[in-house]
Structure 1
Amino acid sequence: MSRYGIPNTSLYIRNLPMQTREEELRGMFSKYGHVRDVYIPLDYYTRRPRGFAYIEYPSETPFRHFTL
């Protein structure tokens, strides 16, 4: 839980191929619950993906499916 009381409901996904698209990630992770947002940061200069992404869920429920 964050210090402001709102639970953190985002997953950090790393080591993604540069060709990975939002639709692919949304499709893979939507089987665990509704995906609110997919964010793939881009390099400032090249405008290419940086190799990681954030998957946001509306609640903590889907996190039961993931292990560290």
Structure 2
Amino acid sequence: MADLDAIESRELEMDESDMQCEVERAFPYSPQAGLFFNMTHEERIDSDRRSIYVGNVDYGATADELEMYFNGCGHVNRVTIPYNRFTGHPKGFAYIEFSERESVRTAMTLDETLFRGRVIKGKWKSSSMG
């Protein structure tokens, strides 16, 4: 019983990053999708500059729904929805990677719009605009 208490105590102490499990939906028509781990440092920086963080995402949202919502801003390479590995529940945010940097500018117009009944919050790095 003491071991179970120790395990439960350790789980509570874990940093959120330790509990993160990500599910990615790489779109088959994208030549860059699924290649993130084979990228050079410079390629990863470029990928970050073509990506956005979207907060307050409905927990039932799928990668396909997010791709459709943001596809009007430009071609979407990848949608990443982080999940808690212990509960299996989504964390309520996502990352969207576009093919072109200009798509990030266009996606800004969707900040504070309704997606699945929730007002989404977009965050873009200032380096994304460079």
TM class, shorter-length = 0.7 to 0.9
Normalised by the length of structure 1, the TM-score is 0.83
Q: CA deviation at 1:48?
A: 1.1
With CA pairs under 8 Å and 6+ residues apart, which has the higher RCO, 1 or 2?
1
TM-align CA RMSD: 1.9
Of residues 78, 82, 94, the one that matches 1:41 is 82
Tell which structure's C-alpha radius of gyration is larger: 2
User: What is the CA-CA distance between 1:30 and the residue it aligns to?
Assistant: 0.3
CA distance in 2, matches of 1:64, 1:18: 25
Distance 2:99 2:84 in 1: 27
The alpha-carbon deviation at position 64 of structure 1 amounts to 2.4
Q: How many residues align?
A: 66
Residue in structure 1 matched with residue 50 of structure 2 by the alignment: 9
Q: Report matched runs for 1:49-60 at 5 Å.
A: 49-60=90-101
* Identity in percent: 35
- CA deviation after TM superposition for structure 1 residue 61, in Å: 1.3
For the residues of structure 1 that align with 2:104 and 2:93, how far apart are their CA atoms?
A: 19
Tell me what 2:61 maps to. Answer: 20
Deviation at 1:56, TM superposition (A): 0.2
Instruction: Give me the whole-angstrom Cα distance separating, in 2, the residues matched to 1:15 and 1:45.
Output: 21
Question: By percentage of residues, which structure has more strand?
Answer: 2
- In structure 1, the gaps of 5 or more residues are none
Gaps of 5+ in 2: 1-40, 110-122, 124-130
Q: Which residue of 1 aligns with 2:104?
A: 63
Structure 2 length as normaliser, TM-score? 0.46
